[in-house]
Structure formats: structure tokens, C-alpha cells
Amino acid sequence: MNPKKITVALAGNPNSGKTTIFNALTGARQHVGNYPGVTVEQKEGFRTVKGYEIRFVDLPGTYSLTAHSIEEVVARDFIFREQPDLVVDVIDASNFERNLYLTTQLLELNVPMLLALNMSDVAEKQGFAFDDRKLSAFFASPVVHTVGSKGKGIERLLAGIIKELDHPSEEPKPHISYGKDIKRELDKIEAVVDQEHQLVSKYGKTWLALKLLEQDEDILTKGHTEETLAVARQSAEALEQIYGDRADILVAEKRYGYVSGVYEQTVKRTIERRHDISDCIDKILLNRVLGLPLFLGLMYLVFMLTFSLGEYPMGWIESGFGWLGEVVSSWWPAGSQSPLKSLLVDGIIGGVGGVIIFLPNILFLFLAIALLEDSGYMARAAFLMDRVMKKMGLHGKSFIPMLIGFGCSVPAIMGTRILEDRKARLATIMTIPLMSCGARFPIYALIIPCFFATEWRGFMMWLIYVIGVLLAILCTIVLRKTFLKGDSGLFLLELPPYRMPTLRGLAIHMWERSWLYLKKAGTVILMISIILWALTSYPKPDADRLENLSPEAAQQAELQHSVAGRLGKIMEPVIRPLGFDYRIGTALIGALAAKEVFVSQMAIVFSVGEEQQESQALRDKLKANYTPLQGFCVMLFCLISAPCVATLAITRRETGSWGWALLQFGGLTVLAYALTLAVYQIGLIIQ
Ligand code: GDP
Ligand code: MG
């Protein structure tokens, strides 16, 4: 039988020991020529072993695969042209982190790969120890240690190559996550480049899109359509606008993030080595003892500032809506019971306005989150949580979608796609609603100032967020230990370098979320407010039944007569042990549609049928009607209980079954009930 002809390329940084290994593998059977068209030397050697005739090619040594040098273009062109059966990445293990940059680019090429950790003698002396199993998983490639100069490990390397040829790894190559902004631009470019069939079949559309975004000089001249070039240029410019750096630099940073993540998770060093600025900051922020308290402290600072900075503009908007309500009321004679007036003033201005007044707080909250994200800190937060979660048999990768959950559960649940393991993913989906989303924020922002002194407000907000995070982690653990049992497997957390966020980038990211909030207020919340206003206003009791009652009692009687009031009354026996009355009950029903509706419905409940003259701010009414304990219980219940309709719908879609969505709904509601009941009853005793 003729031996099977195979090509194996050796790639690696200059001086990683490629040629030494090449010589050791091929012995005297070498041939030196030039790569086509250029004066870069191409060394080929042959070895026949176990039914394979292997042609080894010593690629030019490069640090990268950009188009900055002829060697880089030659190396990557060779891979595209000749499609080697295997690329052996020769890594100088004593310069591990720097060498990995090339490895991540080989990963982007999606070629079958084997990692040869050469210079392992030097690495050992320098105090490096590698976790081969993890390293192998992070690149979906086998790992072999070699000392090329002493011929050590060469047989192992050859055996590894044969094994890979006999049984190529089936594992899909992991993807480097470029972040949502870069990903969005890549998707745009992929969509247009898709039509260039020849180029796509040669380079693959993912890689092409990436290089076009990087404005790679070589790839730009490959004969793309004008449209593709224009889209790529626009995308590169759009990113530059947001981050103030060229797109290729931004992409490179994400690769460095992957590299740092691999380094942090696969290398143990007994001797200190790294010293750049990111490392120095990380030494403090990722410190085993200080890291977590610093994270919690930072979050506290965020909420404190959100409150204190948001307070004034919030007051202005609140007075603005108050004024608007008065203007609209004045269109009718004093004491008028016109339904249209009530709809406009109580339903729309009161309901929607009740939600919109929190826009300043939302802006500050998302500004702070954008700051933490754009600077690279959020990736560290996942890292910190990973340590905690690992101790409990979980991995921090679940925490990344959870962090998105601070904005909204819907994209967060979609974000769980990064979790390859289905059970881990399901467990995360189920618990994501426990992360306080932007829609729950107005509920907290309404209630906290009613019952808590100024200096405690930031703390209370922080507390409710932390309770959510802890519950999410706890529930995930319970799920993973019970009916979603399974090994967490390996996950890579990326550590992008810190960067100074640009004003423009912050503004864009802050506005993206805030605009969604406003839009939601103007559409969904508006619609639901109108419906709830009607349900809260009708049917009306006979006028003579209200005659002898005080204005307040009349308002209550009217409310209790309405559909919403009656529903609330039906619920009351069930929710009374939690400290809730029928008015809160009606708002809880509304909150199912969207959490913000809790706020607008409370506004409606307390203003329908009220004499306009004595109109007070909603907060004062709440203060007069409920205790701080009740206030806290409302927040707790809203935090934990049934997620909104949109969340349930996305859970159904992502899990593929209503069963999971219903379980999420039921499970969280039962949990909310049990916990709130405990807190309220214990609170009553202590009080
Ligand atoms: P290339 O640029 O990647 O082709 O690297 P070379 O093969 O020319 O090797 C560069 C230098 O490193 C040479 O002096 C080799 O002898 C030395 N070298 C190669 N492998 C090892 C190794 O595993 N350990 C040590 N200590 N030196 C090595
Ligand atoms: Mg060489």
C-alpha cells in the first residue's frame, strides 16, 4: 500500500525553535526553495512513518498573521493555498503569553492544530507549570512538551501528529468573543461578503469579514465588490468612533483578552514576571482577598451615585409631569368627573410619567455599567465570580450572561448560547431573571426613597441587587446539583487589557439602553397603562353609595368596585401574609406584562378618583399607606417573582419548550412567595 501523502506545517514565533524541531523531525531529507513569488526561504522535509508520507514545511517565523510583513502574508497564504492536514504551532513556553497571540490567530483560521510547547526546559527553570488539559481544551488541540535542542519529546510529538492524522479532533474550535459592538459589525460584513463565492470558499467568510474589518491591506486587494469594501470601511469607522482606536487594534485587544484568559487559567508561576499596567491593576482588582470586596464596593458606589446624581433631574421631570397634569386638568371645570380627563391625567400622564421620571437614574445606572464594561472591568467581575462559583462546582462563564441580565433578561438569556453544555445553559437561563433588570430598577427607585433615609438609599439598592445575584448563584447551584446535574467542563474567561473609555462610546452605550427604556415607556407601558386605567376605573359604583364617605374612603370604595380592585381583593387573602394589600395586588398583576408597570399601576391606583387639588407625589402616598417592611417586601417579591412575559417567551424559544418557561414562572413565583413570607413574618416579630 502506498503511504498516504500528508502536509504538516510548522508555525511559530521567530526563535521558538521551529527549525530545530523541523530538523529533528525530518533529519537529512530536506529541500530548500522559495515560496512562490517572494524571496522568503521555504524549507521542506519528508518523513515516512506508519503509513503516512509526511511533508513538513517550516513556515516563516511570525508573531502575528496580519499583513504587516511579507513573512506573515507568506505564512497565512501557505495555509490557505495548501490546506495543510495539520499545523504544528511551535510555542516558546518560556515566552508563553506572547507566543499565544499567534496561536489565537491560528484559532481564527480554524485549522487542525497541535501545540508543541518547546523550550519547556527553560520554562521549567523559570518556574512555569502548565495545565495541559485546560490548554488543550481552550484551543481544541492536543498539547505536547518538547525540548528541541536536546531532541526531547520529538517522538512524542510525532506520535501526537500521527494520532491527530488517524483520528482528527472532532471538537469544534472555540470562538474568541469580540464583544457585541465588533460582533455586530462583523455580522454586517459577513452578510455582504457572503456573495463573493470564490473568496469565501478560499478564506471562509468569518475570517474574511474579520480581515476586512481590520482593513487588512492584503485582503482588501483580493477583488472584493465595491459594496463589500464600503461596508467594511463604514464598520471600521463606526468602531473607531465608539472606541477612539482603529478597528484592528480593537480586534487585537480581544485576542489579547483571550490570551490573558488562557494564561491566567492554564499557567501557574512560582516566579513573578509580568509587569505591564493592566497586570498591575489586575494585581489589585483580581486579588484573591481584595477582589470581591472591591467589586461589591464598586457596585455600591454605582448605586449611591445613581441615586444622589439622579435625584435632582428626577425631581424636575416629576414636577414637569405634575405641571402637565394640572394643565390638562384645567381644560375641564373643577371637580369634573370626565372619563377622558381621568384617562389623560391619571392613566397616561400618571402611569407613563411615573415610569419616565426614573429616566435620569436609568441614564446614570447605564452610564456606570458602560464605564465598567468599556474599561474592561466587567470581564474581571466575571473572573472574580468564577473563583467563587468554581468552589461551588460552577464556572464563571455563566456569570457573563448574568451580567447582561442587569440590563434586560431577554438578551441575557440569548447570551447563554456561549455555554456549550446544555444543562449548564438551562440552569443559567432559569436563574437569569433573578438579576435585577433595568425594568425592576424603577420599582426600587420608587420605593427606597419612601422608606429609607438618604444615606441608606444607595445601600438598599445595592442590597437588593446583591440579594438577586446571590439567589441566582444559589439557585443555579441547586439546579446543577439536582435535576440539571453535570460536570461544568472547561470555560475560558477572557481578560481584555484595560482601556480608557471614550466619551462617545460611553454616550452610545448608555443611550442604547436608555432609549429602549424610553421607547418601552412610550409603547408597551403606555398601552398597558391605558388598559389598567380602564380596569381600575370601571365599573363605577353608584354615586349615592359614595355620598356620605370621606374623600379617601370614597376613593377606596370606588377602587374596590373596579375590575382591578376586585381582582386585587380576590388575591388579598393570599398576599396579605406577605404584607401586601389589594392595591399592591393589582400592580403585581400589571407587572407580569412588564415590570415597570408595577410603578405606573401604583400611580394609577393612588390617583384614580382622587380630588385633583390634594394631589401629592406618589411617594408621599406610599409613605402614608405602608411601612418600610412592606416596602422592602414589595421589592423582594418583585425581584424574585415571575419574570415578565418577554422573558418567558424568550425562555421558551431558547429552551425549545413551554415546560421550562412554565417551570421558570412557577418556580420563581413560589420562591418569591416563600422568601417574602419569611421576611415579612420575621420582620413583624422583630419590629
Ligand atoms: P526558529 O527561529 O523558530 O527556527 O528557532 P531555531 O530552531 O532556529 O532555534 C533558536 C534557538 O533556540 C537555537 O539556538 C536552538 O538551539 C534553541 N532551541 C531550540 N529549541 C530549544 C529548547 O527546547 N530549549 C532550549 N533551551 N533551546 C532551544
Ligand atoms: Mg527558523
Residue 427, CA distances (Å) to 83, 209, 486, 665 in order: 40, 34, 11, 14
Alpha carbon 280 to its chain's center: 25
Q: Which amino acid is at 567?
A: L
Long-range interactions of 660-668: CB distance < 8 A, separation 24+: 660/426, 660/429, 660/430, 663/430, 664/429, 664/430, 664/433, 667/430, 668/433, 668/434, 668/640, 668/641, 668/642, 668/643
What one-character-per-residue DSSP string does 243-275 give? HSS-HHHHHHHHHHHHHHHHHHHHEEESS----
Ligand 2 centre and the CA of 99: distance in Å? Answer: 15
Which ligand lies nearest the alpha carbon of 13?
Answer: 1
> How long is the chain?
687
* Tens of pLDDT, residues 480-538: 888 788 766 666 777 877 888 989 889 988 888 888 888 888 888 888 888 888 888 88
Report the pLDDT value the prediction gives residue 613, as an integer from 0 to 100: 44
Closest CA to 177 of 224, 221, 210: 210
**Alpha-carbon distance 605 to 425, whole Å?**
40
Report the pLDDT value the prediction gives residue 489, as an integer from 0 to 100: 63
**Alpha-carbon distance 163 to 170, whole Å?**
13
- pTM to 2 decimals? 0.73
Whether the CB of 245 sits within 6 Å of ligand 1: no
Ligand 1 centre and the CA of 325: distance in Å? Answer: 80
Nearest atom in ligand 1 to the alpha carbon of residue 16 is 3
Mean pLDDT of the chain: 87
Nearest atom in ligand 1 to the alpha carbon of residue 146 is 23
Ligand 1 centre and the CA of 25: distance in Å? Answer: 14
Pairing of the two strands 113-118 and 267-269:
unpaired
Take residue 159 and report the three cell numbers written for it.
Answer: 506520535
Whether the CB of 118 sits within 6 Å of ligand 1: yes
Q: Which residues of 401-433 are buried (b: 16+ CB within 10 A; e: fewer)?
A: bbbbbbbbbbebbebbebbebebbbbbbbbbbb
Cβ atoms of residues 405 and 438 within 8 Å: no
Ligand 1 centre and the CA of 147: distance in Å? Answer: 9
**Alpha-carbon distance 528 to 471, whole Å?**
30
Whether the CB of 16 sits within 6 Å of ligand 1: yes
Partners of 91 in beta bridges = 117
DSSP state of 488: -
Report the pLDDT value the prediction gives residue 373, as an integer from 0 to 100: 85
pLDDT level of residue 113 (50, 70, 90 thresholds): very high
**Alpha-carbon distance 468 to 460, whole Å?**
12
The dihedrals phi and psi of 63, each to the nearest 5 degrees, come to: -90, -15
Identify the residue whose cell numbers are 424559544: 653
pLDDT level of residue 414 (50, 70, 90 thresholds): confident
What one-character-per-residue DSSP string does 372-424 give? HHHTTHHHHHHHHHHHHHHHTT--GGGHHHHHHTTT-HHHHHHHGGG--SHHH
Residue 644, CA distances (Å) to 419, 564, 639 in order: 23, 19, 11
Take residue 66 and report the three cell numbers written for it.
Answer: 496580519
With the most atoms of ligand 1 within 8 angstroms of its CB, the residue from 89, 95, 149 to mutate is 149
Residue 614 has pLDDT above 50, yes or no: no
More confident residue, 269 or 48: 48
Nearest atom in ligand 1 to the alpha carbon of residue 118 is 23
Residue 157 has pLDDT above 90, yes or no: yes
Question: In the predicted model, what is the mean pLDDT of residues 674-686?
Answer: 94
Question: In the predicted model, what is the mean pLDDT of residues 427-452?
Answer: 90
Cβ atoms of residues 59 and 9 within 8 Å: yes
pLDDT level of residue 345 (50, 70, 90 thresholds): confident
Is residue 523 packed enough to be buried (19+ CB in 10 Å), middle (13-18) or exposed (0-12)?
A: exposed
**Alpha-carbon distance 395 to 413, whole Å?**
17
Number of Cβ atoms within 10 Å of the Cβ of 332: 16
Q: Which of 268-277, 361-370, 461-470, 490-499 has the highest mean pLDDT?
A: 461-470
Take residue 403 and report the three cell numbers written for it.
Answer: 451580567
Q: Which amino acid is at 682?
A: I
Whether the CB of 14 sits within 6 Å of ligand 1: yes
* The Cα angle at residue 365 between residues 362 and 368, in degrees rounded to 5: 145
Whether the CB of 468 sits within 6 Å of ligand 1: no
* Tens of pLDDT, residues 121-152: 999 988 889 999 999 999 999 999 999 999 99
Ligand 1 centre and the CA of 222: distance in Å? Answer: 36
Number of Cβ atoms within 10 Å of the Cβ of 514: 19
**Alpha-carbon distance 58 to 397, whole Å?**
37
Whether the CB of 15 sits within 6 Å of ligand 1: yes
**Alpha-carbon distance 540 to 13, whole Å?**
81
> Closest Cα to atom 2, ligand 1: which residue?
15
Nearest atom in ligand 1 to the alpha carbon of residue 20 is 7
Whether the CB of 41 sits within 6 Å of ligand 1: no
Nearest atom in ligand 1 to the alpha carbon of residue 58 is 4
> Closest Cα to atom 16, ligand 1: which residue?
149
**Alpha-carbon distance 560 to 237, whole Å?**
59
Take residue 7 and report the three cell numbers written for it.
Answer: 502536509
> Closest Cα to atom 25, ligand 1: which residue?
119
Whether the CB of 147 sits within 6 Å of ligand 1: yes
**Alpha-carbon distance 542 to 558, whole Å?**
9
Ligand 1 centre and the CA of 16: distance in Å? Answer: 6
DSSP state of 350: I
What one-character-per-residue DSSP string does 185-196 give? HHHHHHHHHTT-
* Tens of pLDDT, residues 554-584: 777 788 888 888 888 898 999 999 999 989 9
- Whether the upstream peptide bond of residue 541 has omega within 30° of 0, thus cis, is no
Helix residue ranges, H only, 482-562: 503-520, 526-537, 543-546, 551-561
> Closest Cα to atom 9, ligand 1: which residue?
17
Report the pLDDT value the prediction gives residue 497, as an integer from 0 to 100: 79
Report the pLDDT value the prediction gives residue 335, as an integer from 0 to 100: 72
> Closest Cα to atom 24, ligand 1: which residue?
119
**Alpha-carbon distance 45 to 23, whole Å?**
8
Whether the CB of 148 sits within 6 Å of ligand 1: yes
* Tens of pLDDT, residues 234-271: 999 999 999 988 999 999 999 999 999 999 889 987 66
The lowest-confidence range among 156-170, 516-530, 651-665 is 516-530
Percent of the chain's residues with pLDDT above 90: 42
| Alpha carbons within 13 A on the beta-carbon side of 478 | 10
Q: Which amino acid is at 28?
A: A
Whether the CB of 179 sits within 6 Å of ligand 1: no
Is residue 364 packed enough to be buried (19+ CB in 10 Å), middle (13-18) or exposed (0-12)?
A: buried
- Coil, strand or helix: which one is 439? coil
Q: Which of 175-179, 203-207, 595-599 has the highest mean pLDDT?
A: 203-207
The dihedrals phi and psi of 53, each to the nearest 5 degrees, come to: -100, 105
> Closest Cα to atom 19, ligand 1: which residue?
17
3-state helix, strand, coil in the chain (%, to 5): 65, 10, 25
Residue 411 has pLDDT above 60, yes or no: yes
Ligand 2 centre and the CA of 13: distance in Å? Answer: 9
Whether the CB of 12 sits within 6 Å of ligand 1: yes
Percent of the chain's residues with pLDDT above 70: 96
Pairing of the two strands 52-58 and 86-92:
unpaired
More confident residue, 243 or 310: 243
Nearest atom in ligand 1 to the alpha carbon of residue 22 is 7
Which ligand lies nearest the alpha carbon of 62?
Answer: 1
**Alpha-carbon distance 253 to 251, whole Å?**
5
Alpha carbon 683 to its chain's center: 36
- Whether the upstream peptide bond of residue 539 has omega within 30° of 0, thus cis, is yes
Cβ atoms of residues 257 and 251 within 8 Å: no
Ligand 1 centre and the CA of 119: distance in Å? Answer: 7
Ligand 1 centre and the CA of 95: distance in Å? Answer: 13
* Tens of pLDDT, residues 181-226: 999 999 999 999 999 999 999 999 999 999 999 999 999 999 999 9
Residue 419 has pLDDT above 90, yes or no: no
Whether the CB of 99 sits within 6 Å of ligand 1: no
